[in-house]
Amino acid sequence: MAFDKFHDECGVVGVYNHPEAANLAYLALHALQHRGQESAGIVSSDGELLHKMGGMGLVVDVFPDEVLAKLPGRMAIGHNRYSTSGGSLAVNIQPFMVSYGLGQMALAHNGQLVNAGYIRDNLEAFGSIFQSKSDTEVIIHLIAQALDESFTTRVVHALRQVRGGYALVLMNEDTLVAVRDPWGLRPLVMGEVDGAVVFASETCALDLIAATFTREVAPGEMVVVNGERIDSSFPFPVESSYSCIFELLYFARPDSDIFGVNVNEVRNAFGRQLAREAPVVADLVVPVPDSGVPSAFGYSWESGIPLQPALVRNHYIGRTFIEPSQHIRNFGVRLKLNPVRRAIAGKRVVLIDDSIVRGTTSRKIVKMVRDAGAAEVHMRVSSPPTTNPCFYGVDTPTREELIASTNSPEQIRRHLGADSLAYLSHAGMLEAAAAAGIGFCTACFDGHYPVAPEMTRRVQLELFHP
Amino acid sequence: MAFDKFHDECGVVGVYNHPEAANLAYLALHALQHRGQESAGIVSSDGELLHKMGGMGLVVDVFPDEVLAKLPGRMAIGHNRYSTSGGSLAVNIQPFMVSYGLGQMALAHNGQLVNAGYIRDNLEAFGSIFQSKSDTEVIIHLIAQALDESFTTRVVHALRQVRGGYALVLMNEDTLVAVRDPWGLRPLVMGEVDGAVVFASETCALDLIAATFTREVAPGEMVVVNGERIDSSFPFPVESSYSCIFELLYFARPDSDIFGVNVNEVRNAFGRQLAREAPVVADLVVPVPDSGVPSAFGYSWESGIPLQPALVRNHYIGRTFIEPSQHIRNFGVRLKLNPVRRAIAGKRVVLIDDSIVRGTTSRKIVKMVRDAGAAEVHMRVSSPPTTNPCFYGVDTPTREELIASTNSPEQIRRHLGADSLAYLSHAGMLEAAAAAGIGFCTACFDGHYPVAPEMTRRVQLELFHP
Amino acid sequence: MAFDKFHDECGVVGVYNHPEAANLAYLALHALQHRGQESAGIVSSDGELLHKMGGMGLVVDVFPDEVLAKLPGRMAIGHNRYSTSGGSLAVNIQPFMVSYGLGQMALAHNGQLVNAGYIRDNLEAFGSIFQSKSDTEVIIHLIAQALDESFTTRVVHALRQVRGGYALVLMNEDTLVAVRDPWGLRPLVMGEVDGAVVFASETCALDLIAATFTREVAPGEMVVVNGERIDSSFPFPVESSYSCIFELLYFARPDSDIFGVNVNEVRNAFGRQLAREAPVVADLVVPVPDSGVPSAFGYSWESGIPLQPALVRNHYIGRTFIEPSQHIRNFGVRLKLNPVRRAIAGKRVVLIDDSIVRGTTSRKIVKMVRDAGAAEVHMRVSSPPTTNPCFYGVDTPTREELIASTNSPEQIRRHLGADSLAYLSHAGMLEAAAAAGIGFCTACFDGHYPVAPEMTRRVQLELFHP
Amino acid sequence: MAFDKFHDECGVVGVYNHPEAANLAYLALHALQHRGQESAGIVSSDGELLHKMGGMGLVVDVFPDEVLAKLPGRMAIGHNRYSTSGGSLAVNIQPFMVSYGLGQMALAHNGQLVNAGYIRDNLEAFGSIFQSKSDTEVIIHLIAQALDESFTTRVVHALRQVRGGYALVLMNEDTLVAVRDPWGLRPLVMGEVDGAVVFASETCALDLIAATFTREVAPGEMVVVNGERIDSSFPFPVESSYSCIFELLYFARPDSDIFGVNVNEVRNAFGRQLAREAPVVADLVVPVPDSGVPSAFGYSWESGIPLQPALVRNHYIGRTFIEPSQHIRNFGVRLKLNPVRRAIAGKRVVLIDDSIVRGTTSRKIVKMVRDAGAAEVHMRVSSPPTTNPCFYGVDTPTREELIASTNSPEQIRRHLGADSLAYLSHAGMLEAAAAAGIGFCTACFDGHYPVAPEMTRRVQLELFHP
C-alpha cells in the first residue's frame, strides 16, 4: 500500500489528574501523529471551564510553545484528525467543545457510526442544527438531549442509540470518560503516570509520556474517572469481538501493543505465514517501506531468503510537495522512494507489502525495482485481497476503486507487471493473529460486516457535504 | 475617543442574483472593514449547496485571490466581526452555516440580543448544544426548532422570540432574507446593481460595488428575495424607532447615509451645535482623528475659529504593534498621533473629539498638545457624557470603566488636564440629528434602555465564556 | 498624486550611546514608515561586533518583540526601503553590514548617486563583486578600498568620489557617522534624548522617541560621534544648496520640520499661493487625501471657499489587495477613496492635489467627484507640472510616463475631464518655500539638474538588473 | 550517532541545457535534502541574465509551485545548506550570485577551505568587503580579481590559491563549470538526461530526475560545459586521493554511488568487518535508525544473529519541535525513537550505530533499550573512535566535545552504560572500503590531515562571526 493514504483514521488521548495535562496530551498526540495529519486539537479543563486550542496541520505546527499556559487544568483530551482531500474546514477540528444543559463538555472520537445519517435526519427533523459533517456531532446532540441528571448517564443514554465503531474520550468540567464500542472495532488503551490516568489509541503514546500500560479498555466498556475513583461498567449489550484486523496489518505503529498483542510481532507472523503459503525461489526480500517492513522480516526469516532495505525512503516529503511541472515525467513514487540499484541488480526480488488498494503505487514500485535491474520481481502481500470498503472508521476508497474487488490476482499481477503475485490467505491471516485471542472484523477482505452499514444514506451525506 | 477601540461592532452584507455574488460580498466587506477587524467570512449558495470561507483578520488577508472559485453561486452573505481582546476562536467566525431539518442555512448578524441568555438556558435545558459564545447561535437554534414548513416562516417564528438589536442577513439554498429589529437599533440598507439585490450595514458598501441605494430596510421589516420577487413584511409588532445615535456619532463612515441622513452632515451639525452651546475664545480648532474630524469642521464653521488637522495620524499602525520595552517611556499615543508643533505652538487650541470613554487616551492627547506648545487646551466633545454600557451590539466597557459614569465634567477636566471641557447637551444632540426624522436610542448617555437588558445573565455568560 | 506610489524613497536613522539603541532605531523607523514600505533593517553595535536584523515588509512585521535582545549595544542604525514593483530581493535590505580591512561596518543610505554606474564599472573592472543593485554598495566598496588608517578618513575618501543625493548614516564598532551630500539634496536632522545622539531623515522620528531637535546636518557636513565627542567637518567642496523641493511638496510628513521649515506650514503656503495665482468661483474645496490636505487648507483660507474632507480614505488597504475579478468594473480608486455625496452634490468643487504624475488616478478622482453630483470640478495642483524624472533618490517614472512632459495643461485638463486645471507657478512655488532661506532642486519641474545625471549607464543598469 | 546533527554539510547541483533546468535543480535538491536543511537556493540563467530564488528551510517550503516561471533558462545551479544552531542569516543562502567585471556569475559550494581566513585577511587588507561568513565568498572575490579575459580562466586562477575541500558548481551567463578539489575530499558526480548535462553531490539526485550516471568528476578535475562542448582539464597539481570516508560511513544516502562504490554496500561491509572484529554472543541485532541500518545488516549476516528494526522512528519530528516544559522529564530521544518492547524484552541486544560523537544520544538509547527489558546491551560502532574535528566541510563539534578525544573505549562504555562496546578498527574500516580503490581522508579518526588546517585563524573567525 505504501504511500496511498487511503487508510488513515484518527487518534485520541485523555489525561486525568496531571499538573501538565495539556502537555501530556500534546506529546501523546505527537506519538499518534501517524493516525491523522489533517488537524489536531486539545481541550483542557481547569475544573470550572473548558479551554480549547487546535488548528489544521501537524501537532508540532498547530501548538505553539506555551501550550500549557493557554490550556490550564489537570484534565485534557486531544484528537488527531485524518487527512482528507480538500474541503477541510476548521469547523471539523476535534475535540468538539460545546455548552449544553449541564455546563460544558468536550469529545474526541476515533471511528465511524453506521447509523449517524439516520439519527442526524431525525435530530434535524426535530430542530437540531449541525455545523460539521462529522459523525461525532451526532453523539454530542444525543448527550445534550438525553436530559438525564448526570453527564455519564447521558453518555450511556446517547451511546445506546448509536451503532458502529468508536473509541471515545469525553469530559465535562470534572470527569473524564473513555468508551469503546461493543464490537471492539477501534482500539483504546489505558495507562498511568505519576498518579494520572491516561487513555490513548495506542501504547506508543503511553511510551512517549513515560506512562505504564495498565490494560486495554474492553469492547463495550465505559471507564469513568472522577476524583479518586475509576469506575468501569458495561452499559451496552456486548456482542462478539470484532476488532479491526487492519489496525494490526497496517494502521497501528509497530511499537504499539493493541488488542493484546504487539503489532510488530503479529506483522512478523503475517510474513512468516505468507512465506509458508506462497514461497518463491528468490535472492532477496525487499520490504516496501514503511508498513511492509515487519512482515518482510517474517517472510525472510521463514524463507531463509536474505532481506535488504533496498528501497530508500525520502524523509523530507511533506504533504505540500507539488510536482513542479507536467512536462517532466511523473515523479510520483520516485519523490518518495529510491532503489539501491547495486543491491537489486541481477537479483530475483520478493517485494513485500501489507496490502494493495488501487494498485497504482504498487505498479510503479514493481517497475522501479525492475528498472533497477531485478532479474525477477515477485510481489507478496501480507493480507488477503482488499475487496470491500470499511464503514467503521478506516477511510477506504469506494468498492469500484479497490482493484481486488473487480480483478483476479492474475489480472492484478499483469497490471502490476510482476512475475508472480500472492496474497496471504484469509485463514492464514487469522491464524497469524490468533495470539490476540479475540475475534476480528475482516469485512474489508470478505464483506462480512458485523454491524450492518447504512449504504443509501451514506451516499446522500456525501452528496450533501462534498 | 480616538483609538480606544471600545465601540466596534459588526458589518453584514447580502447579495442576491449576481454572477459574482461572492466577489461583491467581498468588496462590500472591505468597505465595511471599519465595523470589525477580528474576522471575516462569506457563505455563498450555488442553488443547491452552501459554501463557506472565512478566517481571523482583515478582509484582504482572509480571502485569497480566487474567492469566486471556491464560493460559487449567484447568492452570498458576508460578515465582519469586531475586535475583542483575546479569546478569539475560529468557531465564532460568521456567517454561521449549518444543516438543519429543511436543508442548509447561513446567517450573519450585527447586533446583540438582550434575552439570548434566557433563551439559551432554555434551549440547553431541552437538549441543545452551543459551540460559540455568540447570540447568533440562539437565533439559528430557534429557526431550526420552529418546525414550520418554510424557511421564512421559521425565521419569523424565531425572531418573534428574541428581543434586542439585530440587522440580519440569512439565506438557505435559494432565498435571501434581510431583517431589522423592531426598534430599528442597527442600520441596514438595500441597493441594486446589475439587477442584483444587495443589503449592507452602510451605503459606503453600496458605493464600492457601484450599487445604487434603493432604501433602508425599515425597523421591524423583513425583506425576502427569491426569484423575481422581493417581498416586504412586518411580522413583528413595531415599536417606536430607537435607532442607535452612536452610529451617527462615531461608528458609521462619514461617507455613508444611514437612518435617512448623511453621517458626515449630521456630524457637522453636532459640531455646529456644540459651538453654539460651548463657545470658547481660541485660535485653532484641532480634530482628534479620525472620528472627530466632521464635528470639528462644524465647530470651526460655526465659531469662525480656523481648523487645522494638526494631529497627524500614523497610518501604518497594525494591531500587532508591540511596544518594545518597558524601559522606554510609554509611547502609546505617540505611535499613532504626532502634533504639528509649529501649527499649535502658542495657540489657544480647541480639541474636538466625538466622545470620551475611559479618558486614558484623551488625557494623553491633551498632554501631547500642551507639550507641543499650545497656550491653552480646550476639550469639546460632540456628544453627551457616556455613562452607560450598550446592550444592543456596541462593544462598550463596563459602567465602572466609563469615566463619565462616576465623574463630573469638572472632575474629568482635571483628569484630562484641559483648560476647559464641555460636552454636547442631550437636547442639542437630538436637535442636530433631527433631520433624520426618527427616534433614537440614547441609552449610553441617559440609561433609558428601550429594551430592558438582562443584567444578571449577561454577567454569568461572561464568566462562562471568558 | 494621491495613491500613485511613484515618489517613495527611503528613511534612515542612527542612534549613539543609548542603552536601548536598537529599540529607538525601531521606533524611529516606524515614524519614517511613509518613506519606504518594502523592507526594513537595523544594525547595532555592542562595541565589538555588529548585529543585523531585517526583512521584507513593514517595520511592525519585520521586527519581533525581542528586538533589543538580538540587537545588543548602545549604537544602532536603521533603514526603511521604498517599495518597488517586483524583483525585490532580501539582498537589498539595508543597512548593509560587511567586514573589511578594519573590521566591520554598516551603512544606511537615502538617495541616489549619479555616477554609481561609472564607479561600479571601474570597480568591477578591477575585481570587485556586487551582490545587490543598490548604489549603496558602491560606497561600501570605496570605503573598503580607501586603505586609509581610520574609518572616518576612509568615508571621506570614498564620498569624495561620488556625486548625487545622499543622506547617510554609517558606523563601525564604535563610531557613528552622519553625512549629507554637498548639494543638500536629501534631508537629515540631528537630535538628542537622554544624552544619546540621534540622526533621522525627518523630525517626526525624533518626536516619537521624545528626542529634542538639535539642528539639521548641513549640506556637505559630516558629523562623527565617538565617545564624548561630536565632531563636525565639511570635507567636500560645498556647492550651492539644492534641497529637494519634492520633500516639502509631497514626501515628508506634515508634522516634520526639514530644511528649516515646517512641512505643513509650507504646504499651507503653497495652497495660499495657488489660490492667489489660480482663483476660481466655487462652493467647496476638497483635498485629495492625504498629501493634498495641507495645501487645500491654504487654498481654502486664501480663497474663502469652505473646505470639506469629502473624499474619505479607506485605511485598511494593504499592499496585498488584489482586485478580485476582471469581470467586475475597475474598482481601483474606489477601493481607496469614497466621496461624501451629500457634501458634494450640486457643488462647484475645487479639488486640490500636490502633483499629477501619470494622470491615471487624477482622472478617476475627477470622474468620481463628478459622479457624486458635483456641478463643476476644478483641479488645482500645488506644484508646477512634473516634466522630468529625478536622479537623486525619488523613485519617479520615466519621462515618457509623466503626462506633463508631453501634454499641455489644456490637454491634461481634457484628459482628466475637469472644468478647469491650474498648476502652481514655478516662481510661486519658490516664493512659498522662501521661508526656508535655502536653494532648491526643482529639476523634476524644469529639468535643471544641479548634478549631471548619467543617462546612458542608468538605462544599462536597469536592463542588467531588471 | 543517530540524531546528533553534527555532521551535516551541503549539497550542490548543476544542470546544463534543459528546458526545465530550474525544475530539475529543484528536484535534485530535494533528493539531496539530507545534506542540508537550513536553506536552499537556485540560480538560473536565461542566457543573458541570472535569476535567483532561495530561502530558509526545506526545499519543499522554500520554492513555490511556479519555480520555473521565476527561474527561466536552460541552465541552473542549486545548493542546500546545512543546519547550524542560530545565527542563520539570509545573506548566507547559496548559490551566491554577483555581478563582476565580466558580467554575472553564481557559485554553489560544498566543502570548507583551510586557508579562507588567510585569503580573506589579505583581500580585506586590500579593500575587499565580505557580507557573509562563508568560505565561498573568498572564492568569488578571487575569481572577480583574477582579471583574466575568460570566466573559466579566472576560475582556475582563483582555485589555484585555495586549499581544502570543495565540490563546486559555477556558472556565468552561458557556461557551467564543475570542479572538485585536488584531494577529492568532497564527492561530485556527473550524469545525463534528455541531452542535458547534470552535476550533483550524489547519484540519488540523478535517480530522482531520471538521469543516467556518466561518471564521477575526478579529484582536481574541472569540467566546463558550453554549447556542445564538455571540456575536462586538470588545472591543479593533483595530490593523492583523500576522499572523505565519512561520506561513506554516515553522510551520503545508501542508495547513492559515490567514490566508485555503492554506499549501502560499503556500509554492509563495515558491519561485516565489525562482526568479525568484535563478535558477541547475543540474540538480536538492532540498528540505530537511520544511519546504522546498513552496517547492522552486515553485522547480522556475518554474525548470524537475527536483526530486527526494534527502534521505531517517529517521522513527524520537525526542526521546530520544542519540548513543551522543563517540568516534564526530558523527552529528547523518545520524541524521535521508541523501542518495540516485545521484540527486545529478555534479549541480549547488539546495538549498531555508525559513530559516537558526544555520546549523549547513545547513552539515552542504551538506557531506552535496557528499560525496554533487554537482558544485555552491547554497543558496536561501525567506525573507529571519532577523535578529531573536520576542516574540510563536515560540521563537527570541537575536539573537546568529541567524547572519544578524551575518553578510552572503556570509559565511554561506562558512560553509555553498555555491557560492552567496540569500534571498528582503522585498518578494518579501510579494508571494508577497499573496493573503492582510492585513498581516504581519515583525519577525524586519526588526526592525519591531508591539507594542513589553519587552526588559529579559524578560532578568530568564529569569534568574529558568532
The single-letter code of the amino acid at D254 is P
Beta bridge partners of B54: B41
Q: What is the torsion angle, in degrees rounded to the nearest 10, for the CA atoms of residue A414, residue A420, residue A424 and residue A428?
A: 140
Per-residue pLDDT averaged across A101-130, rounded?
Answer: 93
Judged by DSSP in three states, A382 sits in coil
Give me the pLDDT at residue A154, please.
96
Give me the pLDDT at residue C312, please.
92
Using the predicted structure, report yes or no on whether residue B154 has a pLDDT greater than 90: yes
Q: Mean of the per-residue pLDDT values for chain C?
A: 89
- Give the domains, in start order, of chain B with CATH numbers: 11-242 (3.60.20.10), 265-318+332-433 (3.40.50.2020)
Touching subunits for chain B (3+ Cβ pairs under 8 A): A, C
- Chains D and C, touching by 3 or more CB pairs within 8 angstroms: yes
Highest mean pLDDT among B222-236, B320-334, C125-139: B222-236
C210·B334 Cβ contact <8 A? yes
Give me the pLDDT at residue C321, please.
42
Interface test with A, best of D80, D206, D340 (most A CBs within 10 A): D340
Judged by DSSP in three states, D394 sits in coil
- Work out how many CB contacts closer than 8 A connect C with D: 73
Grid coordinates representing B341? 508643533
Interface test with C, best of D129, D135, D460 (most C CBs within 10 A): D129
Phi, psi (degrees; rounded to nearest 5) at C14: -140, 140
DSSP state of A390: -
Looking at chain B, which residue has its C-alpha nearest residue C256?
Answer: B340
Give me the pLDDT at residue D456, please.
45
Half-sphere exposure of D413 (CA within 13 A, CB side): 14
Grid coordinates representing A18? 496531571
Residues of B whose CB is below 8 A from C328: 20, 23-24, 27, 209
**CB nearest to D127's CB, from C124, C129, C145:** C145
Percent of chain B with pLDDT over 90: 73
Q: Are strands D420-423 and D376-381 parallel, antiparallel or unpaired?
A: parallel
- CA of A257 to nearest chain D CA: how many angstroms apart? 9
Using the predicted structure, report yes or no on whether residue A457 has a pLDDT greater than 70: no
Judged by DSSP in three states, D180 sits in strand
D94 and D106 Cβ atoms separated by less than 8 Å: no
What CA–CA distances, in Å, run from D273 to C434, D254, D266? 91, 18, 10
Q: Mean of the per-residue pLDDT values for chain D?
A: 89
Residues of D whose CB is below 8 A from A207: 334, 338-339
Using the predicted structure, report yes or no on whether residue D114 has a pLDDT greater than 80: yes
Where is average pLDDT lowest: C348-362, D164-178, D216-230, D451-465?
Answer: D451-465
Per-residue pLDDT averaged across D73-98, rounded?
Answer: 78
**CB nearest to D23's CB, from A264, A301, A324:** A324
Grid coordinates representing C23? 529599540
d(CA B157, CA B144): 10
Touching subunits for chain C (3+ Cβ pairs under 8 A): B, D
Per-residue pLDDT averaged across A401-419, rounded?
Answer: 96
- Chains A and C, touching by 3 or more CB pairs within 8 angstroms: no
- Model confidence pLDDT, tens digit, residues D16-48: 999 999 999 999 999 999 998 888 999 999 999
Using the predicted structure, report yes or no on whether residue A343 has a pLDDT greater than 80: yes
- CA of A124 to nearest chain D CA: how many angstroms apart? 40
- CA of A80 to nearest chain D CA: how many angstroms apart? 13
**CB nearest to C312's CB, from B59, B253, B297:** B253
**CB nearest to C98's CB, from D98, D126, D131:** D131
Residue (of C65, C69, C63) closest to B323 by Cα position: C65
The single-letter code of the amino acid at B6 is F
The label of the residue with cell 445506546 reads A160
Residues of C whose CB is below 8 A from D128: 100, 128, 144
Residue (of C184, C20, C29, C167) closest to C108 by Cα position: C167
Give me the pLDDT at residue C299, please.
98
- CA of C165 to nearest chain D CA: how many angstroms apart? 23
Q: Give the model's confidence band at B334: pLDDT under 50 very low, under 70 low, under 90 confident, else very high.
A: confident
CA atoms D446, D451, D452, D454: torsion sign: negative
Interface test with C, best of B20, B26, B60 (most C CBs within 10 A): B60
Q: Mean of the per-residue pLDDT values for chain B?
A: 89
- CA of C143 to nearest chain D CA: how many angstroms apart? 8
Helix (H) or strand (E) holding D403: helix D403-406
Judged by DSSP in three states, B337 sits in strand
Residue (of D197, D244, D238) closest to D219 by Cα position: D238
Per-residue pLDDT averaged across D177-191, rounded?
Answer: 97
Per-residue pLDDT averaged across B436-463, rounded?
Answer: 76
In angstroms, how far apart are the furthest CA atoms of chain D?
72
Interface test with A, best of B42, B129, B157 (most A CBs within 10 A): B129
Where is average pLDDT lowest: A109-113, A284-288, A333-337?
Answer: A333-337
Looking at chain D, which residue has its C-alpha nearest residue A342?
Answer: D262
Give me the pLDDT at residue A51, please.
94
Per-residue pLDDT averaged across C149-174, rounded?
Answer: 96
B30·C318 Cβ contact <8 A? no
C34·B339 Cβ contact <8 A? no
Using the predicted structure, report yes or no on whether residue D463 has a pLDDT greater than 90: no
Instruction: Please give the residue that has the higher pLDDT: either A363 or D65.
Output: A363
Residues of D whose CB is below 8 A from A314: 30-31, 33
Grid coordinates representing D436? 573503492
- Model confidence pLDDT, tens digit, residues C178-225: 999 999 999 999 999 999 999 999 999 999 999 999 999 999 999 999
> Any idea which residues of B carry the catalytic annotation?
10
- Model confidence pLDDT, tens digit, residues D335-368: 889 999 999 999 999 999 999 988 988 999 999 9
Looking at chain C, which residue has its C-alpha nearest residue D142?
Answer: C127
Instruction: Please give the residue that has the higher pLDDT: either B116 or C14.
Output: C14
Phi, psi (degrees; rounded to nearest 5) at C205: -70, -35
Examine residue B65 and say whether the peptide bond preceding it is cis (omega within 30 degrees of 0): no
Q: Give the model's confidence band at C76: pLDDT under 50 very low, under 70 low, under 90 confident, else very high.
A: very high
- Work out how many CB contacts closer than 8 A connect A with D: 164
D141·C127 Cβ contact <8 A? yes
The torsion region of residue D57 among left (phi > 0), alpha (psi -120 to 50) and beta comes to left
Judged by DSSP in three states, D66 sits in coil
Using the predicted structure, report yes or no on whether residue B324 has a pLDDT greater than 50: no
Give me the pLDDT at residue B183, please.
95
Query: Burial letters for B207-235: b for 16+ Cβ neighbours within 10 Å, e otherwise?
Result: bbbbbebeebbbbbbbbbbbeeeeeeeeb
Half-sphere exposure of B131 (CA within 13 A, CB side): 27
- Chains B and A, touching by 3 or more CB pairs within 8 angstroms: yes
Residues of B whose CB is below 8 A from A130: 98-100
**CB nearest to A124's CB, from B99, B124, B464:** B99
Residues of D whose CB is below 8 A from C98: 129-131
**CB nearest to D316's CB, from A58, A254, A307:** A58
Catalytic residue, chosen from C10, C204, C244, C390, is: C10
Other C-beta atoms closer than 10 Å to the C-beta of D195 total 8
Q: Give the model's confidence band at A67: pLDDT under 50 very low, under 70 low, under 90 confident, else very high.
A: low
Where is average pLDDT lowest: A61-70, A440-449, B408-417, C416-425?
Answer: A61-70
- Model confidence pLDDT, tens digit, residues D127-162: 999 988 888 999 999 999 998 889 999 999 999 999
Looking at chain A, which residue has its C-alpha nearest residue B119?
Answer: A101
Using the predicted structure, report yes or no on whether residue A329 has a pLDDT greater than 50: no
> Any idea which residues of A carry the catalytic annotation?
10
Give me the pLDDT at residue D104, please.
96
Where is average pLDDT lowest: A102-106, C362-366, D316-320?
Answer: D316-320
Using the predicted structure, report yes or no on whether residue B330 has a pLDDT greater than 70: no
Residues of A whose CB is below 8 A from D293: 309
Helix (H) or strand (E) holding C123: helix C116-125
Give me the pLDDT at residue C90, please.
67
Where is average pLDDT lowest: B16-20, B307-311, C148-152, D66-70?
Answer: D66-70
Q: Mean of the per-residue pLDDT values for chain A?
A: 89
Grid coordinates representing C379? 483641479
Give me the pLDDT at residue B329, please.
46
- CA of A209 to nearest chain D CA: how many angstroms apart? 8
Give me the pLDDT at residue D163, please.
92
A145·B130 Cβ contact <8 A? no
**CB nearest to C255's CB, from B58, B312, B329:** B312
- Model confidence pLDDT, tens digit, residues D298-335: 999 999 999 999 999 887 655 444 444 444 444 677 88
d(CA C256, CA C234): 25
Q: Give the model's confidence band at D66: pLDDT under 50 very low, under 70 low, under 90 confident, else very high.
A: low
d(CA D157, CA D161): 7
Where is average pLDDT lowest: B309-318, D103-112, D227-236?
Answer: B309-318
Per-residue pLDDT averaged across B130-139, rounded?
Answer: 89
D324 and A23 Cβ atoms separated by less than 8 Å: yes
Chain mean position to CA A167:
11
d(CA C17, CA B276): 53
- CA of B278 to nearest chain C CA: how many angstroms apart? 22
**CB nearest to D60's CB, from A312, A316, A328:** A316
Using the predicted structure, report yes or no on whether residue A169 has a pLDDT greater than 80: yes
Phi, psi (degrees; rounded to nearest 5) at A314: -85, 115
In angstroms, how far apart are the furthest CA atoms of chain C?
72
- Model confidence pLDDT, tens digit, residues D257-296: 999 999 999 999 999 999 999 999 999 999 998 889 999 9
- Model confidence pLDDT, tens digit, residues C259-316: 999 999 999 999 999 999 999 999 999 999 888 999 999 999 999 999 999 999 887 6
Query: Burial letters for B38-75: b for 16+ Cβ neighbours within 10 Å, e otherwise?
Result: bbbbbbbbeeebbbbbbbbebbbebbeeebbeebebbb
Give me the pLDDT at residue B135, please.
86
Touching subunits for chain D (3+ Cβ pairs under 8 A): A, C
Q: Give the model's confidence band at A90: pLDDT under 50 very low, under 70 low, under 90 confident, else very high.
A: low
Q: What is the torsion angle, in degrees rounded to the nearest 10, for the CA atoms of residue A212, residue A213, residue A217 and residue A222?
A: -10
Q: Give the model's confidence band at B460: pLDDT under 50 very low, under 70 low, under 90 confident, else very high.
A: very low
